[in-house]
Structure 1
Amino acid sequence: MKAYSEMGKDELLALKTDLEKAYDEFKAQGLKLDMSRGKPSSEQMDLAMGMMDVFHSSADLTSANGTDCRNYGSLEGLQEAKELLADMMECRADDVIVYGNSSLNVMYDTVARSMTHGVMGSTPWCKLDKVKFLCPVPGYDRHFAITEFFGIEMINVPMTPEGPDMDIVEKLVSEDDSIKGIWCVPKYSNPQGISYSDETVRRFARLKPAAKDFRLFWDNAYCIHHLYEEDQDNILEILEECEKAGNPNLAYKFVSTSKVTFPGSGVAALAASRENLEFIKKQMTIQTIGHDKLNQLRHVRFFKDICGMRAHMMKHAAILRPKFELVVDMLEKELGGLGIGEWIRPKGGYFVSFDSMEGCAKAIVAKAKEGGVVMTGAGATFPYGKDPKDSNIRIAPSYPTLEELEKAMELFVLCVKLVSVDKLLENM
């Protein structure tokens, strides 16, 4: 294929005419497809329907240690639930607190607690003149929304194929004591699907922050969300690496079963050092008497152990894999060699990240919406919704059917071509 940048003005104008005709035909179809968020499909949620049969009115609802799960108590969560979630996170059960259904809720609480009561005796962040967070970009919009909500200044850190640019992270963290944290999605990152290299994880663990209350907000959202059984990314366990580096209190590790069982009724957990957990529990004793133990018990009895959970995730992979392959194959077939976009073929996670020519992402997303396909807003993968290059677009393949996804991708690549031609003509 001839790169668009090598075409003359007449070639581009002729191409534009053909593309506009194809686009008008799409608009005439009246498509109404939504690819704006990484939601599991109904087919995926059907995989967990057996959880509904775990309990009945005469079921034994006591935990392994005899706790009646219908009643108050078990602030840190059921022991068997702690063990299951610890195996999911590859850490020790003693380092885990099991919460309600949402890890996002736990992350919000962790930031809020730091704002009002500090971190393990430090000055509450709300009393400081300036609080900053490092934000690997492109990244997860809901992470950025939390920090923005609390008025925390966000600093972009570019992602590399190995993870965040650690030269930048180390320099900023060591020099500025107003930097209190960094958002991390270490395995199959949102949206690029990048997994942190061993060296990146070790450099995180060895950080020497100027702020003693600096923390890694380690969101292990996709820790078991592989697309392939034989080709999976594995990363070093951050809490163990922090201990080895003499920084045992450096990291908070978050996880949930939101995209394992039911997004609205999963189980979330936080793992951290014992000192961190003791400080966190002081707030929890005021906040709650205990989270939903019946749901914790339901998850344990449904999966039985981590082997059951991993087998369950391969059923998810069987549904998701063809969708991801369709997206990347179509990008390669339709856009490969044209010089108007770049993408990564992920081995797990929930998204495909697409980078258009600079200054084109917003126009592409708007064009797709006009044609009948709603996508994640351009800029959403950057703090404050501002992508400096206006180039990153997050593609979420999970929710549509394969047929809908194919139609949506046909429109998407058409929009990329059309907007790219317009940009090149504009610059002539």
Structure 2
Amino acid sequence: MTNPSQDALAQAQAAYAELKARGLKLNLQRGQPADADFDLSNPMLSALGEGDTHFDGIDLRNYPGGIGGLPSARALFGHYLDLKPENVLVWNNSSLELQGLVLGFALLHGVRGSETGWVHQKPKMIVTVPGYDRHFLLLQTMGFELLTVDMQDDGPDVDAVEKLAASDPSVKGILFVPTYSNPGGETVSEEKARRLAGLKAAAPDFTIFADDAYRAHHLFEERDTPVNFVTLCRDAGHPDRAFVFASTSKITFAGAGLGFVGSSEDNIKWLGKYLNAQSIGPNKVEQARHVKFLQSYEGGLEGLMRDHAALIAPKFQAVYDALSAELGEGGGGYATWRTPRGGYFISLDTVDPVADRVVQLADEAGISLTPAGATYPGGKDPHNANIRLAPTRPPLAEVEVAMRGVATCIKLAAEEYRAGR
């Protein structure tokens, strides 16, 4: 009489051997756009001609133009963030760079309302987990101690945030993705956003750093509604509490877009003052061609995002379908995964603590995944369960093949673990 667990392990081993024999070379590691997504914005490369030397009455070739960006760019991305132009500063190609600049100035000088630079206060920052590895790296590189709270279905665990913020004046803020969070695709609810905007903190300069990278990255007809932290904080009596960052990295070109930040008018002036010390101004040519291209695109920026969704949504659906087909509906006791309405990632959790083994098996079979633990500070997932899936870059057919392979790896890792208990 055979042992059912041994049979399951043998079947998983046989399926994995077949997978390895295919000699695959697939990559679902980073959230990059596909070439087809980039192609939508190729006309932007010729949006300006030799005669387009002036924009908004400003000579694009010369120094003057203002530290806050071209007026039309501030208006366009103000509309994107649901803010007035004077509440927005448009910079160069990276919103992560802007986050680093704002945090750096806060460390040196403090934000508005600070008594001194944060660097003198052994600053701590709240982050959500699972979360974005680049946030963790940025903060730790700058010397912040990280405090983690769970990302729940409707946003950060605000009970935990309130407790941390109220008990320690060195807790200077929270950095997280509020819309279609990386990696889980959660969106903060209006109720939780209001609580964050109005929370009582021991630090008078407690700040919300909202990395709204996926604010318009809806994939399906049913979509989440982004919150407006700048307005909510103003209405809560903390007008300078929020900085909201975004970029066109997943809208036009990932390495040649525009980063921008929304905040109170006073905060924008504060930021401009320090930026002005290190730069005469941002790249006006890049801003002008973005404005011209996005205004001329059929349906504008919203139309461009609909065209992106038409390319990306089938890949997300392919992930769901492949996992369900191979593991069973709901994961078959092997894994669970989120089905976000937008964003760039899918968060998968193994039932057993085998995420690192799954990633190893996948790599040996020619399927590159984000390292296990990457969604936690220091790369250490205490549950060894979370895996971030990034299906946007590969062609649809490769996503389907890769995800069936990942499911095979999940089964084998789980059966190995269960056999060894």
**Paired position in structure 1 for 2:407:** 413
Amino acid at match of 2:344: Y
1:370-404 per-residue CA deviation (whole Å, 9 max, x = no partner) reads: 11011111111011111110111000000111111
Q: Which position in structure 2 is the counterpart of 1:155?
A: 147
CA shift, 1:305, in A, is 7.5
**Does residue 115 in structure 1 map to residue 115 in structure 2?**
no
TM-score under structure 1 normalisation? Answer: 0.95
Any idea what SS the aligned residue of 2:180 has? Answer: coil
User: Which of 364, 371, 378 is the equivalent residue of 1:384?
Assistant: 378
State how far apart, in whole Å, the 2-side matches of 1:373 and 1:253 are. Answer: 35
Choose 314-323 or 267-276, whichever is displaced more: 267-276
State yes or no: 1:103 paired with 2:95: yes
1:50-65 → structure 2 map (5 Å cutoff): 50-57=43-50, 59-64=51-56
Change (3 A) 1:291 1:9: farther
- Residue of structure 2 in register with 1:35 after alignment: 28
Q: Deviation above 6 Å: which 4+ runs of structure 1?
A: none
Query: 1:359 Cα deviation (Å)?
Result: 1.6
Deviations along 1:208-241, one digit per CA (max 9) or x if unpaired, are 211122211111100110102x311113211111
- What SS does the corresponding residue of 2:92 show, helix, strand or coil? coil
- Residue 3 of structure 1: aligned partner: none
1:122 to partner: Cα distance: 2.9
Distance 1:302 1:35 in 2: 30
Measured in 2, the distance between the counterparts of 1:178 and 1:344 equals: 34
State the partner residue of 1:15.
8
* Alpha-carbon distance in structure 1 between the residues aligned to 2:104 and 2:399: 38
Within-5 A mapping of 1:27-426: 27-57=20-50, 59-64=51-56, 66-73=57-64, 74-120=66-112, 121-128=114-121, 130-228=122-220, 230-304=221-295, 307-335=299-327, 336-337=329-330, 338-426=332-420
Gaps in structure 2 of 5+ consecutive residues: none
Per the TM alignment, residue 410 of structure 1 is displaced from its structure 2 partner at its CA by: 1.2
Kept in 2, the 8 Å contact 1:257–1:263? The answer is yes
Q: Does 1:26 align with 2:23?
A: no
- 2:3 is paired with a residue whose SS is helix
For the Cα contact (< 8 Å) 2:174–2:207, is it kept in 1?
yes
Query: Is this contact kept in 1: 2:9–2:419, CA < 8 A?
Result: no
Take 1:305 and 1:327, find their aligned partners in 2: how far apart are those partners?
34
Distance 1:46 1:205, change over 3 A: same
Return the offset for 1:60. Answer: 2.3
- Displacement of 1:111 in angstroms is 1.3
Give SS of 1:91's match: coil
CA contact (8 A) 1:218 1:252 kept: yes
Q: State the one-letter code of the partner of 2:38.
A: M
Asked whether the 8 Å contact 2:352–2:417 carries over to 1, the reply is no
Deviations 1:230-281 (A, max 9, x none): 3111132111111111111110110100000001110110111122222212
Question: Match of 2:208, SS?
Answer: strand
CA deviations on 1:33-57 (whole Å, 9 max, x unpaired) are 1111000011110000010121122
CA–CA distance in 1 between the matches of 2:115 and 2:336? Answer: 44
RMSD: 1.5
Quick one: structure 1 residues 96 and 426, their matched pair in 2 at CA, closer, same or farther if it must change by over 3 Å? same
Query: The residue matched to 2:54 in structure 1 has which SS?
Result: coil
**2-side partners of 1:9 and 1:83: how far apart?**
70
Distance 1:9 1:298 in 2: 68
Residue identity matched to 1:271: G
What are the ranges of 5 or more consecutive residues in structure 1 without an aligned counterpart? 1-7
TM-score calculated relative to the size of structure 2: 0.96
Letter of the aligned partner of 1:250 in structure 2? R
On the 8 A contact 1:227/1:317 being kept in 2, the answer is yes
Figure out how many residues of one structure are paired with residues of the other and give that number.
416
8 Å Cα contact 2:128-2:149 kept in structure 1: yes
Q: Is the 8 A contact 1:166 1:203 kept in 2?
A: yes
